[in-house]
Amino acid sequence: MSELLNTLMQDARVWQGHRHRQTTQPSEPTGYQVLDNQLGGIGWPRGALSECLLDAPGIGELHLLLPLMQRLTQAGKTVFWLNPPHTPYAPALAREGVDLGQVVMIHTEDAGDFLWTLENCLRSPVTGLVLAWPGKLATREVRRLQLAAEAGSNVCVLFRERRYAEQNSPAALRLELTPGDNRDLKVNVIKRRGSWPGQRCSLAMAHRADLAFREAPRVVQGPWQHTQR
């Protein structure tokens, strides 16, 4: 029992009140130094869930994942988009260095299908990143996804409504996103494994291309033309 508790504490899964411990869990840099600094130099945790909580899509949340998408697709890892609210704008992704041959978009019919598909994406050895828009999730379902993320040791980011910030979640990282001035994205860390929450920063997004969530005269089809259902 003591060995199990020591393991949990070493992995920063048990909050120790006045103490905090640097987690040794694997991670991926966000690509934004100011954000990595607020996250203790850790970035996106691998083998664990991350949540981005926001009021509405299209405030710059995809830009937050752009450096990771670039890096993983160029390394031959697959990036899955599961139930995005709008069609990603593929030409902009390509211009930003994302390998479209490693991008797969999936739409599911119902909540059960969504959970099954997300679990299998997380457990797949080809997966580098999963971006998912789940809607409402019960705590037990989030825990189920957390176990799948641990098995696959990849990055999973759930985009959820900001009202779920008050809901308990086993996710290792929870970020509250709000739009700022001049197309900046304000990031509030409401939970991070191994240390105190409450860190804040603002990320400039104005120099990035518009990636998604807009009407386009033509959408270049990637491998998602064979959409799985």
Distance (Å, whole) CA 101 – CA 76: 9
Q: Report the pLDDT value the prediction gives residue 40, as an integer from 0 to 100.
A: 84
Q: Are strands 155-161 and 48-54 parallel, antiparallel or unpaired?
A: parallel
Q: What is the pLDDT of residue 210?
A: 54
Give the residue extent of every domain in the chain. 25-206
Q: What is the DSSP letter of 229?
A: -
Give residue-wise pLDDT tens across range 105-119: 999 989 999 999 999
Q: How many residues does the chain have?
A: 229
Residue 22 has what pLDDT? 52
pTM of this prediction exceeds 0.85: no
Q: Which residues of the chain are modeled with pLDDT < 70? A: 1-24, 194-198, 206-229
* 153/79 Cα distance (integer angstroms): 14
Contacts of 79 (CB under 8 A, 6+ apart): 69, 72, 73, 98, 102, 103, 104, 128, 129, 130, 131
Is the domain defined by 25-206 classed in CATH 3.40.1000.10?
Answer: no
Contact residues for 223 (Cβ-Cβ < 8 A; gap 6+): 100, 101, 103, 104
Cα 187 from Cα 167, distance rounded (Å): 18
Helices (H), the chain: 2-10, 33-38, 61-74, 90-95, 111-123, 139-152
Residue type, position 21, single letter: R
Rounded CA Rg of the chain: 17
124 Cβ contact list (under 8 Å, min separation 6): 78, 152
Distance CA 137, CA 144 (A): 11
Task: Return the pLDDT at 3.
Answer: 54
